[in-house]
């Protein structure tokens, strides 16, 4: 093997021409240390790096690869679409088919607009919510990530209902002056924020299952009160399901809350990842009454040259058709639960505090005594142990997210043998750490 094809050599080469050597920050391994793996190819549940090392993949392109890599039905659809044309800048029937397939599974959405990224979808949803309500104030929660639009790059301040301060250079303070950041799963803060600012709140954007502080789900009391307050004050409840959409259930996370809270549904929804099957594709949707404010029908402007790209929609549509088959999510959820239950058992066996949670094909684990309920609890500890564990697992051919703040993903392609191998690697890694 020549030195030019090693991960280290490629990373050095990349750093000369790409900021940090990566095109998305978490790929740089800054949180865990070491050299990023440059992936050459992937198939099924596995990825192979530039040095020929194979890994069991629990990133799945950060969620989209719910079927695994290179699923035959998806490949066939993409190849056929590519022969017909990469992009037209004009409508296609497949766009309509994909939107219909999404709406069929998500009763809260009557109309949908396709875009190219989760950031674009979340940004557009907020603009639409503000345009539809005539209000400016946005509430988000610490630890929930909704893309890198300026108004969303905000960290919570100290104390209740503190207006955020930018957490990125290049974002003027005045851009985030209408963004309020609250603590996830804190009903008291939520109630006080609406009592103080209810008439000015355009929308509340929330990840129902947060995947960027590892895996933390919104409690039923919190979600129930959030729905009540939004309804009472005329604010729109926006579910960011870029990560959880069609990943935790066929009807997405909102279907799980609808089973637990009578009559529950969000006012707007944001999707990405799985609906594109690994291609750049996302969407935002709501009722007709809300969506009619969007151009060309209304005054809220949004556009995109590659929105509804014909190859991306083929990939997404083929993926949705596969996951809609009977028994798919039951099998996927059982597989994911075996993994998480196994990790918890291995932690108990080795004397390491370890807890975990999962839903559908999405999971998380923490080196802690109890499941965290908010960002502060997630950040309370365990990073050094996680970093050691991450590298020990990587050395044993298991690729986890390179940060303790990220959820993990299981695909339909993961076998019982893959799960068993992962648990055996975890047992050895925890003993070594």
For 302-347, what is each residue's pLDDT tens digit? Answer: 999 999 999 999 999 999 999 999 999 999 999 999 999 999 999 9
Average pLDDT in the 375-401 region?
Answer: 93
Establish if 280 belongs to a structural domain. yes
Long-range contacts of 39-42 (CB under 8 A, 24+ apart): 42/69, 42/70
pLDDT higher than threshold 70 for residue 65? yes
Establish if 418 belongs to a structural domain. no
- Model confidence at 4, in pLDDT bands (50, 70, 90)? low
pLDDT higher than threshold 50 for residue 114? yes
Measured CA to CA, the distance from residue 410 to residue 41 in angstroms comes to: 18
pLDDT higher than threshold 70 for residue 3? no
Establish if 120 belongs to a structural domain. yes
Measured CA to CA, the distance from residue 429 to residue 102 in angstroms comes to: 41
- Asked if residues 380 and 367 have their Cβ atoms less than 8 Å apart, the reply is no
Establish if 115 belongs to a structural domain. yes
pLDDT tens-digit profile of 350-371?
999 999 999 999 999 999 999 9
Residue ranges in 198-309 assigned as alpha helix (H): 220-233, 252-260, 288-291
Establish if 233 belongs to a structural domain. yes
Average pLDDT in the 137-158 region?
Answer: 80
- Model confidence at 155, in pLDDT bands (50, 70, 90)? low
Question: What's residue 170's pLDDT?
Answer: 81
- Residues in CB range of 57: below 8 A, 6 or more apart: 42, 45, 46, 47, 65, 69, 399, 411
Query: Quick check: bond before 316 cis, omega within 30?
Result: no
Establish if 210 belongs to a structural domain. yes
pLDDT higher than threshold 50 for residue 163? no
Measured CA to CA, the distance from residue 267 to residue 396 in angstroms comes to: 45
Backbone angles phi, psi at 360, to 5 degrees: 55, -125
Measured CA to CA, the distance from residue 426 to residue 433 in angstroms comes to: 10
- Asked if residues 433 and 388 have their Cβ atoms less than 8 Å apart, the reply is yes
pLDDT higher than threshold 80 for residue 254? yes
Query: Quick check: bond before 296 cis, omega within 30?
Result: yes
Domain count, the chain: 1
Task: For residue 140, give the CATH number of its domain.
Answer: 3.40.640.10
Establish if 252 belongs to a structural domain. yes
Return the H-helix or E-strand segment holding 78. Answer: helix 72-84
Helix (H, G, I), strand (E, B) or coil at 365: strand
Q: How many other CB atoms are found less than 10 A from the CB of residue 126?
A: 27
Range(s) of the domain holding residue 201:
73-323
pLDDT tens-digit profile of 197-213?
999 999 999 999 999 99
Give, as one character, the DSSP assignment of residue 332. H
Catalytic residues: 145, 240, 273
pLDDT higher than threshold 80 for residue 159? no
Establish if 87 belongs to a structural domain. yes
Between 172 and 384, where is the model more confident? 384
pLDDT higher than threshold 60 for residue 162? no
Give, as one character, the DSSP assignment of residue 214. B
**Mean pLDDT taken over the chain:** 94
């Amino acid at each position: 093997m020549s030195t030019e094809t090693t991960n280290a050599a490629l990373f050095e080469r990349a750093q000369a021409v790409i900021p940090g050597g990566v095109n998305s920050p978490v790929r740089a391994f800054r949180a865990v240390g070491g050299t990023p793996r440059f992936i050459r190819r992937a198939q099924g549940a596995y990825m192979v790096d530039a040095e020929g090392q194979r890994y069991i993949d629990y990133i799945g392109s950060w969620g989209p690869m719910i079927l695994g890599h290179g699923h035959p039905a998806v490949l066939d659809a993409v190849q056929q679409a590519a022969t017909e044309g990469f992009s037209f800048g004009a409508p296609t029937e497949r766009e309509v088919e994909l939107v219909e397939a999404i709406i069929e599974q998500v009763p809260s959405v009557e109309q949908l607009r396709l875009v190219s990224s989760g950031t674009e979808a979340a940004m557009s949803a907020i603009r639409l919510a503000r345009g539809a309500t005539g209000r400016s104030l946005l509430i988000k929660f610490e630890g929930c990530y909704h893309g890198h639009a300026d108004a969303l790059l905000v960290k919570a301040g100290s104390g209740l209902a503190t207006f955020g301060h930018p957490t990125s250079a290049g974002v003027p303070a005045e851009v985030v002056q209408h963004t309020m950041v609250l603590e996830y799963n804190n009903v008291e803060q939520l109630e006080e924020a609406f009592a103080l600012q209810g008439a000015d709140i355009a929308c509340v954007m929330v990840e129902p299952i947060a995947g960027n502080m590892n895996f933390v789900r919104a409690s039923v009391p919190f979600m129930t009160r959030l729905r009540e307050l939004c309804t009472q004050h005329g604010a729109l409840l926006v579910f960011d399901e870029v990560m959880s959409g069609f990943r935790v259930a066929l009807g997405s996370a909102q279907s799980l809350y609808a089973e637990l809270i009578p009559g529950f549904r969000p006012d707007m929804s944001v999707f990405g990842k799985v609906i594109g099957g690994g291609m750049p594709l996302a969407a935002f949707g709501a009722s007709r009454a809300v969506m009619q404010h969007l151009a060309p029908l209304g005054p809220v402007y949004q556009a995109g040259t590659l929105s509804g790209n014909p190859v991306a929609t083929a990939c997404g549509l083929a993926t949705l058709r596969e996951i809609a088959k009977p028994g798919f999510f039951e099998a996927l959820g059982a597989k994911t639960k075996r993994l998480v239950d196994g990790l918890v058992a291995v932690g108990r066996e080795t004397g390491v505090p370890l807890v975990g949670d999962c839903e559908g094909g999405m999971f998380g684990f923490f080196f802690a005594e109890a499941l965290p309920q908010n960002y502060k609890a997630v950040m309370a500890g365990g990073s050094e142990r996680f970093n050691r564990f991450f590298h020990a697992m990587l050395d044993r051919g298991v690729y986890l997210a390179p940060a303790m703040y990220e959820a993990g993903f299981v695909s339909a392609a993961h076998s019982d043998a893959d799960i068993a191998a992962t648990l055996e690697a975890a047992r050895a890694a925890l003993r070594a750490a």
